[in-house]
Amino acid sequence: EAAQKALELEQRANKLNRDKRQALIDESKLNRQLASERAKVADATLSIEDRQAALNAATEIANKIAANQVALKAREIDILRQQQALTNNTAEDNDKLAQLEAELNNIYAARDNMLREMVGQKAALAAQEQAMAKAAIDAANAADQAERDRIQSLHEFKVSLMEEGVNKRLELLEIEK
């Protein structure tokens, strides 16, 4: 039974190696997409909405890359642990397992750092959006005030013309008497 288990683990290890090779190709394509989306996030010529959409896409891609890396590393650790359960382990075997577990932790740390950075970018974009909305409201309020001031000036001018007209009529009436 141990031989059967060892054969099964060897087959799983071979499949894992094939999957890791394919993952290298897939991850390189995802990294290209991630770089493209991150460039859009940094492009100040794009609208805030477009930049936020790019940031959401970048976050999704980064999560997919990390999830794939975690899945492969977890499979590798699982296979190694099962292989070690079948034999006496050397210090090298234990070092290999520790190395894989450290790599898994580093994947998590890199993912967490990238996600924290993206959360910061989301906050910055939201702040820019709020500032732009406030500026638009302030501009609209200023335009409204300017229109009110213009109407008030016209009204005052009309009143002064009317007063002037009344005064001239009174003068004419005085002259006619």
Query: Each residue of 82-109: pLDDT tens digit?
Result: 999 888 888 999 999 999 999 999 999 9
Q: Mean pLDDT, the chain, as a whole number?
A: 94
How many angstroms separate the CA atoms of 111 and 75, rounded? Answer: 18
How many angstroms separate the CA atoms of 90 and 136, rounded? Answer: 69
Instruction: Write the pLDDT tens digit of every residue in 36-63.
Output: 999 999 999 999 999 999 999 999 999 9
Return the residue matching tokens 């039974």.
1
Give me the pLDDT at residue 91, please: 92
CA dist 15 → 38, 61, 122 (Å): 33, 25, 39
Give me the pLDDT at residue 90, please: 87
Global confidence as pTM: 0.73
Residue 46, judged by CB atoms within 10 A of its CB (0-12, 13-18, 19+), counts as middle
With bands split at pLDDT 50, 70 and 90, how would you rate the model's confidence at 26? very high
Average pLDDT over residues 66-82: 96
CA dist 97 → 8, 82, 125, 141, 169 (Å): 19, 11, 42, 66, 107
Neighbours of 74 (CB within 10 A): 13
The amino acid present at 125, given as its one-letter code, is L
Q: Where are the alpha helices (DSSP H) in the chain?
A: 2-42, 48-86, 91-176
